[in-house]
């Protein structure tokens, strides 16, 4: 039976497993990861400097009035997220051997931790304190244009972010379906056949063209919709930060995800061991992180995206 017992210790060979290939996680695009050498520290970042009035009528020989740019700093503390899965020794043979069992156990534990991070991102985007919330009232498209104008000064690609359920709800809105057509398909680079078939990738491109964003990001309902009733009528417009490690120092970005690197290279720690007492192979996944929202003005929440809204149709 030793052939069905997992190895004891850290498993770097399992740390890079892909865990959610069908739906995928979108959080890292909105809050790019910043590698942290320590669990606690300070993060220095840029904000969007307010434009100051231009000076006129300066007296010769007198220095221009100076507007100082202040340094911005915040502290962070990376907190633990951990999940343990196990597989009974008697089940290892059934799934195809210890290598398959290791992949199952490690992927399950890592995916759970990633889901925890994704839900934290969804909370920060759709429920974040300080972010403007605008009820779409009679027009989703009009409210989206107001939101895009509000975040225009922030750098980065513009994204519309929503759960799978909210996205499909929007794609039934009469003012959106009314813009479907060969001309809009051509502008968006979408095959009309794909629109008729309502293929998600085609509809994402079409919606991006209708409201004028660079891309549409669709999150897993488990984190972006079901987990909190307050999310169930919301979507957001967000300027996606440059993923560079120091981009938050160079530009005013929405936020970053501080992740502690225990071994200096990999934030996800996967460990396994065989529990002789319970006769179970055990798999742990652990990370330490903290999300930091740095510039709330780089996001804009659209609310009122519910089934009872006047702009929706049941078609």
Residues 6+ apart with CB under 8 A from 226: none
Q: CA-CA distance, 160 to 126, in Å (whole number)? A: 12
Contact 26, 120 (CB under 8 A): no
Q: Where are the beta strands (DSSP E) in 167-234?
A: 215-219
Between β-strands 280-293 and 33-36, what pairing exists: parallel, antiparallel or unpaired? unpaired
Dihedral angle, C-alpha 184, 187, 193, 197, nearest 10 °: -60
pLDDT at 314 over 50: no
pLDDT at 53 over 60: yes
Predicted TM-score of the model (pTM): 0.87
Looking at residue 200, what is its pLDDT? 66
Please report which confidence band the pLDDT of residue 225 belongs to, taking 50, 70 and 90 as the band edges: very high
* Position with higher pLDDT, 123 vs 56: 123
pLDDT at 186 over 60: no
* Two tokens, residue 167: 């996205």
Mean pLDDT of 270-296: 95
**Angle, nearest 10°, between helix axes 200-211 and 140-150?**
70
Tell me the domains of the chain and their CATH numbers.
Answer: 2-17+24-49+74-303 (3.90.1690.10)
Q: CA-CA distance, 136 to 83, in Å (whole number)? A: 39
Q: CA-CA distance, 161 to 141, in Å (whole number)? A: 14
Contact 176, 141 (CB under 8 A): yes
pLDDT digits (tens, 9 = 90+) for 99-148: 999 999 999 999 999 999 999 999 999 999 999 999 998 899 999 999 99
Looking at residue 182, what is its pLDDT? 45
pLDDT digits (tens, 9 = 90+) for 234-251: 999 999 999 999 999 989
pLDDT at 19 over 90: no
Among 105, 149, 140, 141, smallest CA distance to 272 is for: 105
């Amino acid at each position: 039976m030793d052939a069905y017992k997992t190895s004891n210790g850290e498993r770097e060979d399992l740390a890079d497993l892909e865990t959610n290939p069908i739906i995928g996680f979108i959080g890292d695009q909105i809050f790019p990861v910043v590698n942290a050498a320590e669990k606690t520290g300070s993060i220095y970042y840029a904000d969007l400097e307010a434009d100051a009035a231009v000076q006129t009528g300066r007296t010769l020989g007198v220095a221009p009035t100076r507007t100082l740019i202040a340094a911005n700093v915040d502290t962070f503390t990376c907190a633990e997220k951990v999940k343990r899965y196990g597989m009974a020794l008697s089940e290892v043979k059934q799934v195809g051997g210890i290598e398959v069992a290791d992949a199952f156990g490690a992927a399950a534990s890592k995916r759970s931790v990633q889901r925890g991070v994704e839900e934290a991102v969804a909370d920060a985007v759709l429920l974040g304190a300080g972010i403007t919330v605008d009820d779409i009232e009679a027009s989703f498209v009009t409210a989206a244009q107001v939101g895009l104008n509000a975040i225009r000064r922030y750098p980065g690609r513009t994204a519309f972010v929503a759960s799978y359920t909210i996205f499909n709800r929007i794609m039934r809105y009469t003012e959106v379906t009314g813009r479907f057509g060969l001309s809009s398909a051509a502008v968006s680079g979408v095959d009309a056949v794909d629109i008729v078939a309502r293929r998600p990738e085609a509809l994402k491109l079409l919606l991006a063209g209708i409201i004028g964003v660079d891309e549409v990001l669709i999150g897993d309902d488990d984190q972006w919709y079901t987990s909190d009733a307050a999310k169930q009528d919301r979507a957001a417009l967000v300027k996606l930060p440059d993923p560079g490690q120091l981009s938050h120092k160079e530009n005013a970005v929405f936020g970053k995800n501080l992740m502690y690197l225990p071994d200096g290279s990999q934030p996800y720690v996967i460990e396994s061991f065989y529990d002789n007492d319970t006769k179970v192979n055990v798999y742990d996944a652990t990370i330490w992180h903290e999300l930091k929202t740095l510039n709330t003005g780089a996001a804009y929440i659209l609310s009122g995206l519910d089934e009872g809204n006047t702009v929706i149709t049941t078609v």
